[in-house]
A = this chain, B = another copy of it.
Amino acid sequence: METKDGATPAVKQRVIDAVLAITASRGLDQATMREVAKEAGVSVGSVQYYCRTRDDMLVIACRHVMDRIVARGEALPRTGPVGSVVRAYAQEFLPLDEVRADEQRVYLAFVARAAVVPDLARLQHEFTARLRAACAEAFRLAQERGETHTAFDADVAASATVAMLDGLLVHLLSDPEGMPGPLAIAILDEHLARFVDIGIPV
């Protein structure tokens, strides 16, 4: 499909990549239509075809980031106790390397806007509901298999786990001095290990 603004899936991908790159390196403030067009090497019209506002940019960038993280999670080997898969999946969300840090800077910009824009809060609800459901399902499977350390409500434990992940993510990005990667992993492990067998001693 080609439009007068040259909108194609390839152009859309370049726009998404440009939004990700600018938001991750210089912050959402700098992701103007003109800057995104320049970074993507496309016309301002092409950018506007996909995102009319800065919030539209955040939405397409954030959806892309979420899909990417979930795809990595789905590709993980399903071996060992359920808790060990949850652990590996959860680590895909933590900004422990530059790729994930760039992804999560976009997510953090999105979340700060979702706190003031109801349309974005609805999308954030969609994202977190999906994560909580996947985590609760895994916890229930661990319960069925007897890979648990205590009796617990799988839904509450899943909400706690997703909140803990987001808290660690915030500190890894905004206070790398106070929250080095190994500490974040140790805290995540200790959090998970009190519910389920994560396949390693904590």
A112 pairs with B121, CB closer than 8 A: no
Q: Contact check: which of B24, B116, B166 meets A167 at CB < 8 Å? A: B166
A93 to chain B, nearest CB (A): 11
Contact residues of A: prevailing secondary structure: helix
A39 to chain B, nearest CB (A): 15
Query: Which B residue's beta carbon lies closest to that of A150?
Result: B194
B190 pairs with A160, CB closer than 8 A: yes
Q: Contact check: which of B112, B124, B125, B187 meets A156 at CB < 8 Å? A: B187
Interface size class of A (residues with CB under 8 A): 35 or more
Tell me the number of copies of this protein: 2
B175 pairs with A114, CB closer than 8 A: yes
* Residues of chain B with a CB closer than 8 A to A159's CB: 171, 178-179, 183, 187
Which residues of A line the B interface, CB within 8 A? 24-29, 54, 104-105, 108-109, 111-117, 120-121, 124-125, 128-129, 132, 156, 159-160, 162-168, 170-171, 173-179, 183-184, 186-187, 190-191, 194
17 new A-B contacts, CB < 8 A, other than A28-B112, A162-B167, A163-B187, are A24-B116, A26-B116, A27-B117, A108-B115, A111-B112, A111-B170, A114-B174, A115-B173, A121-B174, A121-B176, A125-B178, A128-B178, A160-B190, A160-B191, A163-B167, A164-B167, A166-B166
